């Protein structure tokens, strides 16, 4: 939140030098979630706007498996074990555009808003696999340890799942503390949809023909209501 207020202060100071008549900057604050910002241009009752959010996420998965056998004397021993680890991260670039339409413009202004967003992920990661065989005395007689970066097709699948498309419809009101500055509230509905598919087609011609096809598909959607608090600064008057 602090960085948005600092950015707003800098814009307020320098915007008159840029002759930015009609420019709008706003911060949208939602409890327990990341605050967002937007730039717009006020033309009568219409304010087309745009914003860009950048998020960094990461995750990991680990598994461990053991197989125990019994020797000739009835004692149990660890026959083999394997470990599987996956680590990954993604940078999410989320551009959004929309339009606000003011129904009234006075000290208390009301508006409708329609907006869309698209998440553009950049994915990276690696996985490692370790396999160890033991004899009945506990000695290692075979060990394999492999680390590999995620394949391009695997990154594409993850990116398609993270590549959310969203639309929101809202209604809000602003109270103008001055001709340039307003505070407000907005309520509305968001709909997000994402999905991805993965197909692996492998052929083996020796010594006999063999073809394996593996297909996976995922699709999910989310609809959620929201309420936000807004801070808005207008270069020029926000009341007309």
Report pLDDT digits (tens) over 4-32. 444 544 454 444 444 556 788 888 887 66
Contact between 92 and 56 under an 8 Å Cβ cutoff? The reply is: yes
> What CA–CA distance (Å, rounded) separates 42 from 44?
6
> What CA–CA distance (Å, rounded) separates 156 from 171?
36
pTM of the predicted model as reported, rounded to 2 decimal places: 0.74
Contact between 171 and 187 under an 8 Å Cβ cutoff? The reply is: yes
User: How many residues are listed for the chain in this entry?
Assistant: 240
User: Once rounded to an integer, what is the mean pLDDT over residues 29-44?
Assistant: 80
- Note the pLDDT of residue 109: 92
Contact between 30 and 4 under an 8 Å Cβ cutoff? The reply is: no
> pLDDT tens digit string along 180-198?
899 999 999 999 999 877 7
> What CA–CA distance (Å, rounded) separates 47 from 240?
12
- Note the pLDDT of residue 191: 96
- Note the pLDDT of residue 32: 61
Q: Which backbone phi and psi does 17 adopt, to 5 degrees?
A: -70, -25
> What CA–CA distance (Å, rounded) separates 50 from 133?
58
Q: Which two tokens stand for residue 110?
A: 């009301």
- Note the pLDDT of residue 122: 94
In this model, does residue 231 exceed pLDDT 50? yes
User: Once rounded to an integer, what is the mean pLDDT over residues 117-125?
Assistant: 94
Pairing assessment for the beta strands 108-118 and 165-176 based on DSSP bridges: antiparallel
Contact between 79 and 71 under an 8 Å Cβ cutoff? The reply is: no
> What CA–CA distance (Å, rounded) separates 57 from 196?
19
The band of 156, judged by pLDDT with boundaries at 50, 70 and 90, is confident
- Note the pLDDT of residue 88: 93
């Amino acid at each position: 939140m602090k960085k948005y207020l600092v950015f707003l202060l800098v814009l307020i100071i320098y915007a008159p030098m840029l002759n930015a008549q009609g420019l709008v900057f706003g911060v949208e604050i939602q409890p327990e979630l990341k605050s967002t910002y937007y730039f717009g241009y006020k033309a009568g009752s219409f304010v087309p706007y745009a914003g860009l959010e950048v998020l960094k996420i990461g995750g990991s998965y680990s598994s461990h498996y053991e197989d125990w056998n019994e020797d000739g004397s009835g004692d149990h021993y660890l026959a083999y074990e394997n470990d599987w680890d996956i680590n990954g991260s993604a940078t999410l670039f989320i551009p959004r555009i929309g339009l606000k339409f003011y129904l009234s413009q006075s000290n208390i202004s009301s508006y409708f808003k329609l907006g869309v967003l698209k998440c553009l992920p950049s994915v990276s990661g690696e996985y490692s696999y370790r396999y160890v065989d033991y004899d009945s005395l506990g000695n290692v007689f075979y060990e394999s340890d492999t680390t590999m970066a995620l394949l391009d097709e695997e990154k594409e699948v993850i990116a398609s799942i993270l590549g959310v498309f969203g639309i929101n419809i809202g209604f809000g009101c602003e109270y103008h503390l001055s001709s340039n500055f307003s505070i407000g509230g907005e309520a509305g509905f968001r709909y997000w949809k994402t999905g991805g598919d993965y197909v692996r087609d492998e052929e083996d011609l020796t010594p006999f023909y063999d073809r394996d096809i593996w297909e996976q598909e995922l699709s999910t959607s989310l609809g959620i209501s929201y309420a936000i608090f807004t801070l808005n600064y207008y270069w020029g008057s926000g009341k007309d």
